Amino acid sequence: MNRRVISRGLAALGLVLLLLLGLDWWFPLPPAPQYSPLVLAADGTVLHAYLNPTQKWRMKTELHEITPVLRKAIMEKEDRWFRWHMGVNPIALVQAAGRNVFGTGRTTGASTITMQVARLLEPKERTFGNKLLEMLRATQLELHYSKEEILQLYLNLVPYGGNVEGVKSAALLYFQQTPDYLSLAQTVTLAIIPNRPRGLVLGKNNAAVLQERNRWLRRFGASGLFPKQDVEDALLEPLEVERHAAPALAPHLSRRLVRQFPRQAIIHSTLQRSKQYKTEDLTRNYVRRLYELGITQAAVLVVNNHTRQVEAYVGSADFRDFANQGQNDGITAVRSPGSTLKPFLYALAMDRGLVTPKLLLPDVPTNFQGYRPENFDKRCNGEVTLERALAYSLNIPAVRVLNQLGVPAFTDKLRQAGFHNITRNRARLGLSSILGGCGASLEELTNLYVTLAGGGRHQSLHLTSTAKQASSTRLVSAEAAFLTTDILAQLTRPDLPLGAASSMRLPKIAWKTGTSYGRRDAWSIGYNRQYTIGVWVGNFSGQGSPALTGADVATPLLFDLFNAVAYNSPNDWFAPPAALDFRLVCAETGLVPGENCPNQVIDYFLPSISSGQHCQHLREVLVAADGAFTYCRACAPAAGYRRELYPNLLPEVAAYKEAQGIPYRRLPPHTPLCQLVRGGPEQAPTITSPTPNTEYVLNAREQQQLLLSCTTNSEVQQVYWYVNDQFLRAAGATERVFFRPTPGPLKISCADDHGRNTNVLVTVTELE
């Protein structure tokens, strides 16, 4: 008997499943509603809302936003048997039929919440046939969805007049709150409007809405649905409501995320609402003060160093400023980075053992295989320490270090750091890349400084809270990152805004500025242990401005942002890594002291990595008794000379001092009696002008001339210039020679007074 019952039960169940599958095949479920895309802040509040594809405000109400109060009010008003029926309430149908046939009571259609969902999903003319289809659809919905999901669909589709649909849309547009933050009076207000969306219009018919709301509140109170005191308080609550604009914070990031996740109705960003609002407000007001300087735009990115989450994202000063292309996203726009890559270069060079903070670098006019960089102020300093070169953002020392490190090694690290434009153009990049000759975005640059703040470990930035935690990559050592940070935190520097040093609100940060060629882009990126903030100021049109420099227009905004956004950051600062150590170095060179280094200073170094080269800034020279000549070991007489110490300068530094009239102890000429050619080809003169393998176009009418110049070893007194192997003239080692060349290919040769020679090939074209 039991087997027979079980068999019949299984057969019945199979028949139901078969009918259900057949129903779905014959009567497929309608597609899911098209919701308004919402971008949420980290705390779940709505940052930005968009119209859905049908131009309606239909914001998806999540299950946790359906409060017990809202659930009770809707079910009591619309369908008190919602929990018990299967989409159609047969008792209500019979009662409605009786009222409609006999004309007693209010005419009604006995629609359940599920039947209303069916009608809202597929609006049709109200006929008896469509009513039957509605009932069939309601039964089908009950088989596919839970009661909570059906209630959620209902609350997402109910009309509130005009193009407003769903309780969340109404709550945000009229009360500026999500449904789970509404009061009892506000909740009941939204519960009663869907039945009369044209007659009860919030903001227009508030008096009628208030009267109807209070009627239902009394009714709910009489039935004991809500506590009596809560109902009495709700009755006293005024209804002064109007239509508000949809939330529109973070428009650039919101647009970016909606494009990235086109099928998501709700996107959870990492933005902090208060920080986003402050950053937008500060940026907009700051740029307004720059209009008279011809500067119209700015972009700001705020990153939490510990989580790598973006907490504020401002793509332009004003998204609605169409005249100045406000809809452009300055966070992702590729611009010239100016000098902002220098800290990363020096950190890499420290890790290679090429430099330490106190190492002296030549800062003199230099020709790097045809590339002649200049400092921002067009001046040179002779020799400067690395820390001064970085703090003062000097260009020539940076190019020299990049030349030592190698462009491929530098760009490979940038590629690992996510610099997409550098990845695409790596083959065409040269030494100018360290001065802004490559393209980068504010997002890429800011994350590079997050890497320094994070001890040299790089990780992708997070824009959404649901993003997977990416693995980190070490780009520089913790020791190099700390040394770079230590330099960038110094206040003795030219890019400190005027008056900032005396300000009580000067934030404790490490920062670097940058200005692109033509003053088209101003950058300032800074960080402390908790936050990194990147600032770009300029014009999206690319138009430059004389006032557009990182120090003058970008850093003041950076300081304001740190004071406003990161005012509660801990006061703790970066601590030196345990592997970092101190040593004494010669103050004249920054190298390990040699035999003649009385002036010594303390410097950081990376054990087993930093160079252990000993200082030789002074060299011993054999000098004639009268000081007129010097001798080499081969030609020194048996007696009649003395040993003296002379500066051992690089040829380009000696040439710079000579050209600028800077006094230094110059080596006397070598004795003319010596017949030996001293030194190898590496000590031959270096021709600094003309540039090798270059075409020079001269105007015949202006009688233009070509400059000949070179750098030589300090003992060289005279050089000899040749053009196409024909002697031109003799000149002093640092003398600048001009001559009128003939058109065509030229071989320029320079020989010194020790017989060493070098050549360059150029082409001259003459225009009439």
Q: What is the pLDDT of residues 635-674, one digit of tens each?
A: 878 787 888 888 888 888 887 887 788 888 887 877 777 7
> Which residues are catalytically annotated?
78, 339
Q: What confidence score (pLDDT) does residue 123 get?
A: 80
Q: Is the pLDDT assigned to residue 626 strictly greater than 90?
A: no
> How many angstroms separate the CA atoms of 203 and 189, rounded?
12
Nearest to 313 by CA among 268, 266, 280, 284: 280
Distance CA 1, CA 22 (A): 31
Distance CA 768, CA 763 (A): 17
Residue 5, pLDDT > 60, answer: no
Residue 309, H or E segment: strand 309-314
* Token pair of 234 as six digits: 């709700």
* Contact status, residue 284 vs residue 317, Cβ threshold 8 Å: yes
The most distant pair of C-alpha atoms in the chain lies apart, rounded to whole Å, by 142
Q: Are residues 172 and 60 located together in one domain of the fold?
A: yes
Contact 72, 178 (CB under 8 A): no
Give just the sign of the alpha carbon dihedral 503, 496, 405, 520.
positive
- Do 113 and 78 share a structural domain? yes
The CATH number given to whatever domain includes residue 222 is 1.10.3810.10
Q: What is the DSSP string of 592-641?
A: BP-TT---EEEEEE-TTTS--PBP-SEEEEEEETTSS-EE-TTT--SSSE
Q: What is the pLDDT of residue 99?
A: 59
Q: Does residue 108 carry a pLDDT above 70?
A: no
Q: Which domain holds residue 19?
A: 1-30
- The per-residue pLDDT for 21 is 61
Choose one of 236, 269, 302: the last residue of a domain. 236
Question: Which pLDDT tens digit goes with each residue over 32-80?
Answer: 899 999 999 999 999 999 999 999 999 999 999 999 999 999 998 888 8
pLDDT: which is higher, 248 or 735: 248
Give the phi and the psi of residue 656 in degrees, each rounded to 5.
-65, -45
* Mean pLDDT within 307-324: 96
Are 176 and 55 found together in one domain? yes
The answer on 137 and 215 residing in a single domain is: yes
324 or 649, greater pLDDT? 324
Q: Output phi, psi for 601, to 5 deg.
A: -130, 165
Say whether both 4 and 102 belong to one domain.
no
- Cβ-contact 225, 72 below 8 angstroms: yes
Judge whether 106 lies within some domain: yes
Residues 528, 554 contacting (CB under 8 angstroms): no
Does residue 205 fall inside a structural domain? yes
Output the pLDDT for position 200: 85
- Domain assignment present for residue 388? The answer is no
CA–CA dist 361, 244 (Å, integer):
61
Q: Is residue 636 part of a domain?
A: no
109-123, 284-298, 732-746, 747-761: which is most confident: 284-298
Higher pLDDT, 187 or 369: 187
User: Can you tell me the distance from the alpha carbon of 198 to that of 666, in angstroms, rounded to the nearest whole number?
Assistant: 97
Q: Which amino acid is at 354?
A: L
Q: Do residues 96 and 204 share a domain?
A: yes
Strands 706-711 and 737-739: antiparallel
Query: Same domain, yes or no, for 73 and 4?
Result: no
For residues 109-128, average pLDDT: 81
The burial class, CB within 10 Å (0-12 / 13-18 / 19+), for 681 is: exposed
Residues 4 and 90 reside in one and the same domain: no
Dist CA 387 CA 527 (whole Å): 18
| Number of separate domains in the chain | 3
Is the confidence at residue 107, as pLDDT, over 50?
A: no
The pLDDT value recorded for residue 102 is 52
The predicted model scores a pTM of 0.85
**Under 8 Å CB-to-CB from 26, ≥6 apart: which residues?**
none
Looking at the chain, the whole-number percentage of residues with pLDDT higher than 70 is 92
Average pLDDT over residues 315-324: 95
Average pLDDT in the 74-92 region? 83
Domain boundary among 236, 251, 285: 236
Residue 15 has pLDDT above 50, yes or no: yes
22 and 62 within one domain: no
* pLDDT > 90 in the chain, percent: 57
Edge to edge, the sheet with strand 618-624 lists 630-631, 618-624, 641-647
Query: Is the domain of 57 the same as that of 137?
Result: yes
Look at phi and psi of residue 679 and say left if phi exceeds 0, alpha if psi is from -120 to 50, else beta.
left
Closest CA to 533 of 503, 564, 504: 564
Average pLDDT, the chain: 88
Are 226 and 92 in the same domain?
A: yes
User: Is residue 302 one of the residues assigned to a domain?
Assistant: no
The answer to whether residue 278 is domain-embedded is no
What pLDDT score does 503 carry? Answer: 65
Is 719 a member of any domain? Answer: yes
Token code pair at residue 160: 């509130």
> Positive or negative CA dihedral for 68, 69, 75, 78?
negative
pLDDT at 692: 84
SS3 497: coil
Of 181, 213, 236, the position where a domain reaches its end is 236
Highest mean pLDDT among 373-377, 421-425, 700-704 belongs to 373-377
Domain contains 170: yes
Q: Which residue has the higher pLDDT, 444 or 117?
A: 444
Is 442 a residue whose pLDDT tops 90? yes
- The closest alpha carbon to 524, from 477, 559, 571, 572, belongs to 559
Same-domain pairing of 22 and 77: no
- Are 528 and 566 in contact by the 8 Å Cβ rule? The answer is yes
| Banded pLDDT at 548 (limits 50, 70, 90) | very high
